[in-house]
DNA sequence: CCACAACCCTGAGGGC
DNA sequence: TGCCCTCAGGGTTGTG
């Protein structure tokens, strides 16, 4: 599941390779990959064709290809989406859902086994804001400080796990990095957000940032599906502290990691290091 | 605001 | 080998 570190890895790689290229055409192989509001594959292809890629940016888990004329091609990988750079004449993957031709003969392929991923074409800043609406702060931005997090947490009273998964609370975390961040912060996933002391909030801030930065420095976490723009796996799986490590010893105390279900999501933690205060 | 659940999807893995 | 069932989960939508 691509989260902020995985999307950031793809962004950085593509930025250096496709910036300056012109999109000369494209096609959809699975029409529902075109996301709302337009949800129109024909209009999307028509919209991007002839435009130059000015920059490759990221907002939360969205990739934003800035196109000439204030337009953008926005990509959300969801669960199994992959954005692959293909040299000319490379064979497409079997889950190819959309393809874009570039003016140097290369292609940008959107592959997605489970068809949850979405592509959006936006024409102008207003349309882009619509696609990126209701997103909370970027956790790696300078503006995301301990004080920011404290104010956000105290304005809510939800359990930490579902709250951190909520993209309108903080943007970019998913199931893997939430569990990792909570472990680093030594906080139980069911703790209420308004119950945290200042030192716990500081630890959570630190845990979020550290978990994400480690993910980026390892080029993302590949459990099974994630690949970077070159088709390579990320190396962060071996560095995970709790996620998918149920029954294995905690790296801090040696007791087994527990898995429970919270908000319909598998949730991994160490009951000893992350106790739930009564 | 918060909790819960269905939905969209397909492949992997378990049970028999 | 094969069939059925469950599970995996990001985000949206709807209900209470």
Per residue in A122-173, pLDDT tens?
A: 999 888 999 998 899 999 999 999 999 999 999 999 999 999 999 999 999 9
pLDDT of residue A164: 95
Average pLDDT over residues A251-255: 95
Tell me the pTM: 0.96
Question: Is A200 annotated as catalytic?
Answer: no
Pairing assessment for the beta strands A81-86 and A71-76 based on DSSP bridges: unpaired
Residues A107, A140: Cα–Cα separation, whole Å: 31
CA distances from A229 to A1, A66, A206, A251 (A): 15, 17, 29, 32
Catalytic site residue A265?
Answer: yes
Report how far residue A183's alpha carbon sits from residue A243's, in angstroms, rounded to the nearest whole number: 10
Chain A 93-122 residues whose Cβ is under 7 Å from strand C: 114, 116
Residue A112 three-state SS: strand
Cβ contacts of A89 within 8 Å, gap of 6 or more? none
Answer whether residue A274 shows pLDDT above 90. Answer: yes
Task: Please say whether the dihedral angle defined by the alpha carbons of residues A251, A253, A258 and A261, taken in this order, is positive or negative.
Answer: negative
How many angstroms separate the CA of A166 from the C1' of B16? 41
The tens digit of pLDDT for each residue in A167-191 reads: 999 999 999 999 999 999 999 999 9
**A239 Cβ nearer than 7 Å to chain B strand:** no
- Burial (CB count <10 Å: 0-12, 13-18, 19+), residue A115: middle
Q: What is the pLDDT of residues A39-97, one digit of tens each?
A: 789 999 999 999 999 999 999 999 999 999 999 999 999 999 999 999 987 788 889 99
pLDDT at res. A185: 97
Residue A162 Cβ under 7 A from any strand B atom: yes
* Helix (H) or strand (E) segment spanning residue A202: helix A198-217
């Amino acid at each position: 599941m691509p989260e902020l570190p995985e999307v950031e890895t793809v962004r950085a790689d593509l930025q250096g390779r496709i910036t300056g290229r012109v999109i000369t055409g494209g096609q959809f192989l699975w029409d529902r990959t075109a996301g709302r509001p337009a949800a129109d594959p024909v209009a999307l292809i028509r919209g991007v064709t002839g435009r130059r890629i000015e920059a490759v940016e990221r907002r939360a888990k969205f990739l934003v290809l800035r196109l000439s004329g204030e337009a953008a091609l926005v990509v959300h990988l969801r669960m199994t989406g992959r954005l692959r750079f293909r040299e000319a004449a490379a064979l497409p993957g079997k889950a190819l859902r959309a393809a874009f031709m570039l003016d140097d003969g290369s292609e940008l392929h959107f592959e997605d086994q489970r068809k949850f991923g979405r592509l959006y074409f936006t024409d102008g800043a207003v349309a882009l804001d619509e696609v990126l609406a209701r997103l909370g702060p970027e956790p790696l931005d300078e503006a995301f400080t301990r004080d920011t997090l404290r104010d956000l947490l105290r304005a809510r009273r939800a359990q930490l796990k579902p709250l951190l998964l909520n993209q309108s609370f903080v943007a970019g975390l998913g199931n893997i990095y939430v569990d990792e961040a909570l472990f680093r912060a030594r906080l139980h996933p069911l703790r209420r957000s308004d119950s945290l002391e200042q030192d716990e909030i500081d630890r959570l801030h630190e845990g979020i940032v550290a978990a994400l930065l480690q993910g980026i420095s390892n080029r993302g976490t590949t459990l099974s599906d994630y690949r970077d723009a070159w088709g390579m796996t990320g190396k962060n799986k071996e560095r995970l502290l709790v996620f998918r490590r149920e029954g294995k010893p905690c790296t801090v105390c040696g007791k087994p990691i527990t898995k429970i279900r919270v908000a319909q999501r598998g949730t991994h933690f160490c009951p000893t290091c992350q106790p739930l205060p009564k």
